[in-house]
Amino acid sequence: MPLRVSRVAFSGGHILTMDDRNMRADVLVVDGERIVALGEPELLRSYPDVDVVDLQGRTVGPGFIDAHSHLSIAALHPCWADVSDVADIDDLGRRLTEHAAREPDTDWIRAAGWNELTTSVFPRRRDLDALDLDCPVVVAHYSLHQCVVSSRALDVLGIDRRTPDPVGGVIGRDASGEPDGLLVERAWSEAHARSMSAYEDPDRWGEHIVAYAHRLIADGITAVHDAACSPAAERCYALLAKAGRLPIGVLAMPHPALILNAPTPDRLEGAITGEGDERFRIGAVKLFADGGVAPAVDAHHRGQPVKFGTVFPDLTTHVSAAAERGFQVAVHALGNVGLAGALEAFTHAARRDPDGDHRFRVEHACLADARQAATMAALGAVGVVQPGFLHHLGQAVEGFGFDDATWLPFGTLARAGVPLAASSDDPCTFYEPLRTSAHGATRRTGSGNVLNSGESVTYDDWLRAYTAGAAYAGRQDGERGRIAPGLRADFVVLDGPLDPENPPRVAETWIGGRRVFPKHES
Ligand SMILES: [Zn+2]
């Protein structure tokens, strides 16, 4: 098959259109970057001069759109010390020391992927001080919602025993009241921003983004929504797109460099949702209702009240300000109290503009009840959910169900009529759509147990949520997400039946009418 043909047709397999009316077709015709025709086998007679690809029974579907990815951050992970699988605290120290030796010019030493639950390793600042490194050290949690820093880092951040906890964050302290290095939620924002800035040279960052995007392409991902896109990341993507070097479509969700905070007023004055082109476009503003390691929960477990977590202030004000500027709004809401806050803020904004196409996005919706699902549906809010969360979070909450709210309530949301967009939250969990979707269908957690089987959504519906659903969430349903004439020729060829117990594999990925995976040898 040639690398690039202006006109090509596919037949001899299944074409999964993801269109509500016309779910399957036999023949697909592509001309340049566009899909131009779709139909039954006789359609080929109208295109006598096209190259015809025999699918040999395989399935063509739209390219996957990861509706909640942190591509700009995940792309830098190869630069940092990977501590996701450390054996013990000494091993963590070794990896940081090796990383420091590899990066002599950086002014922050950063480790990524720390997970105290899977590794049982919980460093404190004294452990990091003992490494005797010349720079401040930050060990970032896999969730991107907390970290542990060294004493030098605390000095640089201006944190000492007199520093009060910031609103929406916690500074960990030892028994004597001295900061112990743990910075939770908004207490970690500045450490994240400072340790990112050392890697934000657009040339270097751009190379990493391009390399990482090629990994995503091999798993069928043809576009992502970058769910917390800093101004520097927006500039980096824009430069790549302008140079024709951005391998996949990117929808940037504006967010300040200070992670977990609301965008600055000057960003709200900048480019709004929809500006850009098919390769790089501005999406919804990203706001936070509650924490990530500290989701706001208020429910009952076997009759006993359970209440914990962090609620961030002023959400309603921020949602309305962004909506009034013309932005679509996405709110991270993990716990049921976070979700209640998001729905209240959306209701308020919708009342001020009852005729607007708000298409509010709830990111995560990990704990909800049927009433909240009905409210989401009534508001027309999209659930941007992560079936892969069954693996980590699902394992963590096994045996800790609530009487009055459901963990990872994807079936409840779907039955209520909430449009679902699927995503990974990479690098907080694995990103392969065919794999995360399998978890969403089987409801199997990392331990192999099944969590709330009644909340299963079918594998086909997950693939629809990863394509048409994600495009709808990004207000890009007029350009991608389905196999339909006029839309971008971004699609995948899948080998094997659509069986969550034995998922198919991505045989080919095509973007803009070009086969980009696998690459040709020559
Ligand atoms: Zn996220």
364-381 tens-digit pLDDT: 999 999 999 999 999 999
Assigned domain for 72 exists: no
pLDDT > 70? residue 1: no
280 Cα: distance to centroid of ligand 1 (angstroms): 19
Strand partners, 285: 329
pLDDT > 70? residue 5: no
254 Cα: distance to centroid of ligand 1 (angstroms): 13
Task: Please tell me the least confidently modeled range out of 16-25, 276-285, 431-440, 474-483.
Answer: 16-25
Q: Are 336 and 301 in contact (CB under 8 A)?
A: no
HEC-encoded secondary structure of 199-217: CCCHHHHHHHHHHHHHHHH
pLDDT > 70? residue 75: yes
79 Cα: distance to centroid of ligand 1 (angstroms): 20
522 Cα: distance to centroid of ligand 1 (angstroms): 38
**CATH code for position 27:** 2.30.40.10
Structure token pair of residue 522: 């020559």
Q: Say how many C-beta atoms besides its own lie within 10 A of residue 354's C-beta.
A: 7
25 Cα: distance to centroid of ligand 1 (angstroms): 35
Assigned domain for 356 exists: yes
Tell me the per-residue pLDDT of 259-270, one tens digit each, with 9 for 90 and over.
Answer: 999 999 999 999
Residues 104 and 232 in one domain: no
Q: What pLDDT is stored for residue 70 in this prediction?
A: 98
Range of the domain at 27: 1-63+483-522
Tell me the per-residue pLDDT of 124-166, one tens digit each, with 9 for 90 and over.
Answer: 999 999 999 999 999 999 999 999 999 999 999 999 999 999 9
Residues 235 and 375 in one domain: yes
Assigned domain for 291 exists: yes
3 Cα: distance to centroid of ligand 1 (angstroms): 35
The pTM of the full predicted model, rounded to 2 decimals, is 0.96
End position of a domain, from candidates 197, 220, 247: 197
Place of tokens 């480790």: 111
Can the peptide bond before residue 518 be classed as cis, meaning omega within 30 degrees of 0? Answer: yes
82-108 residues labelled b (16+ CB within 10 A) or e (exposed): ebeebeebeebbebbeebbeebeebeb
Residues 11 and 144 in one domain: no
**CATH code for position 252:** 3.20.20.140
Q: What pLDDT is stored for residue 4 in this prediction?
A: 46
End position of a domain, from candidates 172, 197, 222: 197
Backbone angles phi, psi at 190, to 5 degrees: -65, -40
Assigned domain for 70 exists: no
Q: What's the chain's length in residues? A: 522
Assigned domain for 372 exists: yes
Q: What pLDDT is stored for residue 60 in this prediction?
A: 98
403 Cα: distance to centroid of ligand 1 (angstroms): 27
154 Cα: distance to centroid of ligand 1 (angstroms): 25
Assigned domain for 451 exists: yes
196 Cα: distance to centroid of ligand 1 (angstroms): 16
Q: Please tell me the distance from the alpha carbon of residue 522 to that of residue 520, in angstroms, as a whole number.
A: 6
Task: Name the DSSP class of 366.
Answer: -
**CATH code for position 134:** 3.10.310.70
Of the pLDDT bands very low, low, confident and very high (cuts 50, 70, 90), residue 489 is very high
Residues 487 and 476 in one domain: no
Strand partners, 64: 221
Residues 392 and 498 in one domain: no
Residues 512 and 476 in one domain: no
- Return the percentage of the chain with pLDDT > 70, whole number: 98
Q: What pLDDT is stored for residue 2 in this prediction?
A: 45
427 Cα: distance to centroid of ligand 1 (angstroms): 8
227 Cα: distance to centroid of ligand 1 (angstroms): 6
Residues 380 and 261 in one domain: yes
Q: What pLDDT is stored for residue 6 in this prediction?
A: 78
Q: Please tell me the distance from the alpha carbon of residue 311 to that of residue 345, in angstroms, as a whole number.
A: 13
Of the pLDDT bands very low, low, confident and very high (cuts 50, 70, 90), residue 22 is low
Chain mean position to CA 512: 23
How many domains are there within the chain? 3
Residues 146 and 226 in one domain: no
424 Cα: distance to centroid of ligand 1 (angstroms): 8
Q: Are 6 and 31 in contact (CB under 8 A)?
A: yes
Tell me the per-residue pLDDT of 392-410, one tens digit each, with 9 for 90 and over.
Answer: 999 999 989 999 999 999 9
The pairing of strands 137-141 and 109-114 is parallel
Task: Name the DSSP class of 158.
Answer: T
474 Cα: distance to centroid of ligand 1 (angstroms): 15
Per DSSP, helices labelled H in 189-298 are: 189-197, 202-217, 231-242, 265-268
Residues 410 and 496 in one domain: no
Identify the CA nearest to 291 among candidates 113, 473, 141, 466: 141
Residues 34 and 152 in one domain: no
Mean pLDDT throughout 512-521? 89
Tell me the per-residue pLDDT of 78-135, one tens digit each, with 9 for 90 and over.
Answer: 999 999 999 999 999 999 999 999 988 889 999 999 999 899 999 999 999 999 999 9
Q: Please tell me the distance from the alpha carbon of residue 417 to that of residue 221, in angstroms, as a whole number.
A: 26
Place of tokens 């460099």: 257
Residues 285 and 404 in one domain: yes
1 Cα: distance to centroid of ligand 1 (angstroms): 38
The per-residue pLDDT of the chain, averaged, comes to 96
Tell me the per-residue pLDDT of 310-366, one tens digit each, with 9 for 90 and over.
Answer: 999 999 999 999 999 999 999 999 999 999 999 999 999 999 999 999 999 999 999
Q: Say how many C-beta atoms besides its own lie within 10 A of residue 460's C-beta.
A: 16
Task: Please tell me the least confidently modeled range out of 9-23, 295-309, 430-444.
Answer: 9-23
pLDDT > 50? residue 522: no
Tell me the per-residue pLDDT of 443-460, one tens digit each, with 9 for 90 and over.
Answer: 999 999 999 999 999 999
End position of a domain, from candidates 154, 170, 197: 197
Q: Please tell me the distance from the alpha carbon of residue 511 to that of residue 30, in angstroms, as a whole number.
A: 11
Residues 297 and 175 in one domain: no
